[in-house]
Amino acid sequence: MFTKSQWLRLAIISVLIMGLVAGCTNKEEVKTTEEAQVEQKEPATLNVWILDRVGTDAMAAVSDVIQAWAAETGNTVNITEGNQFEMLNNIPVAIPAGEGPDVFMTVNNYVGGHYLGGLIVPIQDSFTDADSYIPGALDAFTVDGQLLGVPVAADVNALVYNKAKVAEAPATMQELISVSKELTKGDEYGLLYQIDSFWYSYPFFSAHGGYIFKWTGSGWDTSDLGLNTSEGIAGLQYIRDMVTVENLMPADTTWEVMNAYFTEGKSAMIITSPTMIPSFKEAGIEVGVAPIPTIEGVGTPKPFATYTGFSVSAYSKYQEEAIDLVQYIGANSGKPLYEANSGNIPVYSSVLNDSALSSDVELAAWMSQLANSDPLPNIDAMNYVWTPVTTAFQTVVHGEANAATALAEAQELILQSLQGITQ
Amino acid sequence: MEMPTRIQKPRKPIYPYFYLLPGLTAILFSIIIPGAMTIYYAFTNYSLRHLQDWGWIGWENFEKIFVGSNRGEFLGVFSWNMQWALISTIGSALVGLILAMLLNNKRVVERNFYRVLLILPWALPSTITILTWKGLFNSSFGPINRMLGSIGIAAIPWLSNSTWARATCLLVNIWIGYPFMMSAFLGGLQSIPEELYDACQVDGANGWQAFRHITLPMLRSIVLPLLVSGFAMNFGNFGVIYLLTEGGPFKSPSVLAGATDLLSTYMYKVAFGATNFDYGLASANGLLIFLIVGSLTLINLSMTGAFQEVKE
């Protein structure tokens, strides 16, 4: 089959390959002994991942805070910046492989899954700063009574209005609706937002007492759903009536339309998050921000809030330093993050006492909306909520189904799916 | 005189393999190992819930897809996916062929200008054009319905009614897909010798006969491979649906899939939707798509003989 020289070649190649394989394993052995030595030395080296979620300038701002901690404590920190989705997709693979960060920026709706997967550690035992955070911010990072991260910034929807068209924000929803009706004519609108979206319309749903999962004080009860309840049904009917009875806006208003119309001055009020404000101001709109007004005789609308924060890897060899670092970031990055990008609403309460920020009326409005908000559930059961609930909201607002039937179907589907995954 | 030696069977030398080694290594690491791992993961419960203790669970992922907690949504998505791939492929080929024949007509003086215009959908980044279409098709604010409204046609629910939304998605996909087909056909048309048409005219054939007996047979070898690969590509399309409708509009009862969800966008929701990372289930879905596309392509190839070598 083979000639002598061919056998020789084959032998050489296989020796080379074996050498390569052996080389790899040797290297790893060397690495682990090196790591063992490092462990005995005092100063730690931490790898930190931060996400573009907060904005490019804000990534630099939070890096400065992290490096300040390193300088104070004598530890070394290696910072990696990256795209939010790429980085968070890598976490479940990278951390168990030993290539992940010790500390990473995260979003509160990921911590439930990360905790289930054993990727992050509870930090409440060495967390001393709990009273300094605004209410709800730490709940957003709590699963089964375990604190799984430190919040640094929040994102929430509130009422954003054009001061040239509405001098003062309406005090009640009743007032808002009547003002809005007066302003709605032709191609101009009073209130305009993505009304068939569960995310944007949730505040009116929650004002009536609707919810997704019941918050027990230390976690979410996935067997207690608040969709198919008389409160939930009343909430969805209220949202539908804004389209069908009050004729405030078309049912298929999209996010893009909302932004375009507000930028062109063709809508007076929208419901949105702080991220878009700078571009409205650039377009010359006189922007005002206010909490979504209460529905008199019903309740106060509570939009969803999501929180950006930092979690500690369960695989980190420097748990103590890592937890110290996340506390430090929590206490020190609120103001720089907000100043670098006004989309990052501070959650550390003393930030508002800062003289530079105490006169910031917009910030005060965002923070008062944040005080009236529901944290987006941080458990992976949410994956089975989005489609059924979106279906219910879309079909009802578009007039294709009635609220009671749609919500009953949605609740039934969610409970069925959840039975399927918790076995 | 020497005995004529028996003709020796040519030896298979080993050194070609040595030259191929870099390529083979690349294939091993980029195709064979990931492929094998996908097949393996499809039978495990590797997911965020089981990062450390994951293991073999047999056919459970496939059960979940066909009967389990996702309640047979797969079949509905699959049947729409078939329609999508068929109509998209045939539609863009037809549009491409008609336009190519018009452009190939020498009596159209300004055809180079048209060619540039018609190739634009291919040249523009599709992410941007798809989002533009999304804005154009909005039923209350989009320019298309406003234009129709000004001539008295009632608003069409382009993206908010499930049947219309499917048609709209197909329209956009055909718009994106036809320039490629058109250029391929144009090349094919230009390679057909003029003499054939001259001879055919002499024989007294009409335009349709010329098309049927000269153009079509001559284009066959170009078209068939394109149709087969176009079908496979459309079958696995992700971007058009993800950007245009995000799978919506949604109709009850749907757990994850909307009216326009294709297998690829559906699989994405199953595996990575919200913060759920179910690698096992995603691999099972991926394996299914691979088997479906693979077997359909094989059937297509054997039926059409598209890639058969031309026999002397």
- B92-108 pLDDT, tens per residue? 999 999 999 999 888 88
Full residue range of the structural domain in which residue A256 is found: 156-305+378-422
* For residue A197, pLDDT beyond 70: yes
Average pLDDT (A235-243) is: 96
Give chain B positions within 8 Å (CB) of A253: 140-141
Query: Which stretch of DSSP H or E encloses residue A223?
Result: strand A220-225
pLDDT of A423 reads 43
Q: Residue A238 domain-assigned?
A: yes
Q: Does B155 touch chain A (CB under 8 A)?
A: no
Q: Residue B204 domain-assigned?
A: yes
Full residue range of the structural domain in which residue B139 is found: 80-303
Average pLDDT (A390-408) is: 93
Confidence class for position A229, pLDDT limits 50, 70, 90: very high
Query: Which stretch of DSSP H or E encloses residue A323?
Result: helix A319-332
Which of A359, A375, A391 is at the close of a domain?
A375
* For residue B275, pLDDT beyond 60: no
Q: Are residues A199 and A296 in the same domain?
A: yes
Q: Which residues of B25-43 are buried (b: 16+ CB within 10 A; e: fewer)?
A: eeeeeeeeeeeeebeebbb
N-to-C CA span, chain A: 57
* For residue A194, pLDDT beyond 60: yes
Q: Are residues A272 and A388 in the same domain?
A: yes
CB A363 within 8 A of CB A357: yes
pLDDT of B298 reads 87
Q: Residue A236 domain-assigned?
A: yes
Confidence class for position A12, pLDDT limits 50, 70, 90: low
* CA–CA separation, A415 and A413 (whole Å): 6
Number of domain units in chain A: 2
A271 DSSP 8-state letter: E
Query: Rounded to a whole number, what is the distance in Å from the CA of A365 to chain B's nearest CA?
Result: 29
Q: Are residues A266 and A407 in the same domain?
A: yes
Q: Residue A37 domain-assigned?
A: no
Average pLDDT of chain A to the nearest whole number: 88
Average pLDDT (A194-209) is: 95
Q: Residue B42 domain-assigned?
A: no
Q: Residue B48 domain-assigned?
A: no
* For residue B1, pLDDT beyond 90: no
β-strand pairing of A267-272 with A189-191 = parallel
Are the beta carbons of A413 and B140 separated by less than 8 Å? no
Structure tokens at A322: 């890592």
CB B288 within 8 A of CB B61: no
The beta-carbon neighbor of A119 closest among B13, B51, B272 is: B51
Lookup result for tokens 């806006």: A249
Average pLDDT (A24-52) is: 63
A309 beta partners: A106, A151
Query: Rounded to a whole number, what is the distance in Å from the CA of B302 to chain A's nearest CA?
Result: 36
> What confidence tens digit (pLDDT) does each residue in A118-177 have?
999 999 998 888 888 988 899 999 988 899 999 999 999 999 999 999 999 999 999 999
Q: Are residues A120 and A198 in the same domain?
A: no
> What confidence tens digit (pLDDT) does each residue in B165-208 have?
999 999 999 999 999 999 999 999 988 898 888 898 888 888 88
Q: Residue B261 domain-assigned?
A: yes
Q: Does B152 touch chain A (CB under 8 A)?
A: no
Give chain A positions within 8 Å (CB) of B266: none
Number of domain units in chain B: 1
Give chain A positions within 8 Å (CB) of B14: 2, 6, 9-10
Q: Residue B295 domain-assigned?
A: yes
* For residue A219, pLDDT beyond 70: yes
> What confidence tens digit (pLDDT) does each residue in A303-318 have?
999 999 999 999 999 9
Average pLDDT of chain B to the nearest whole number: 86
What number of other Cβ atoms are within 10 A of residue A11's Cβ? 10
Are the beta carbons of A387 and B276 separated by less than 8 Å? no
Choose between B51 and B311: higher pLDDT. B51
* CA–CA separation, B223 and B93 (whole Å): 8
Are the beta carbons of A387 and B15 separated by less than 8 Å? no
- By CA distance, what is B266's nearest residue in A? A387
The structure's pTM equals 0.81
Q: Are residues A197 and A108 in the same domain?
A: no
- Domain of B178, CATH number, reads 1.10.3720.10
Q: Residue A325 domain-assigned?
A: yes
Query: Rounded to a whole number, what is the distance in Å from the CA of B185 to chain A's nearest CA?
Result: 38
pLDDT of A290 reads 96
Query: Rounded to a whole number, what is the distance in Å from the CA of B273 to chain A's nearest CA?
Result: 6
Q: Are residues A368 and A387 in the same domain?
A: no
SS3 for A158? Answer: strand
The beta-carbon neighbor of A386 closest among B12, B141, B274 is: B274
- Domain of A334, CATH number, reads 3.40.190.10
β-strand pairing of A345-346 with A287-290 = unpaired
Give chain B positions within 8 Å (CB) of A96: 51-52
How far from A374 is each of A51, A209, A211, B95, CA to CA, in Å? 24, 12, 9, 51
Query: Rounded to a whole number, what is the distance in Å from the CA of B262 to chain A's nearest CA?
Result: 15
Q: Of A150, A201, A148, A181, whose CA–CA distance to A333 is shortest?
A: A150
DSSP for A30-95 reads: HHHHHHHHHHHSSS-EEEEEEEGGG-HHHHHHHHHHHHHHHHHHT-EEEEEEE-HHHHHHHHHHHT
Average pLDDT (B67-86) is: 82
Give chain B positions within 8 Å (CB) of A114: 48
A131 DSSP 8-state letter: G
* CA–CA separation, B90 and A124 (whole Å): 61
Segment among A18-32, A48-62, B27-41, B290-304 with least mean pLDDT: A18-32
Q: Which amino acid is at B30?
A: S
Structure tokens at A155: 């994102």
Q: Tell me how long chain B is.
A: 312
Confidence class for position B71, pLDDT limits 50, 70, 90: low
Give chain A positions within 8 Å (CB) of B46: none
Q: Residue B298 domain-assigned?
A: yes
- By CA distance, what is A256's nearest residue in B? B135
Query: Rounded to a whole number, what is the distance in Å from the CA of B80 to chain A's nearest CA?
Result: 18
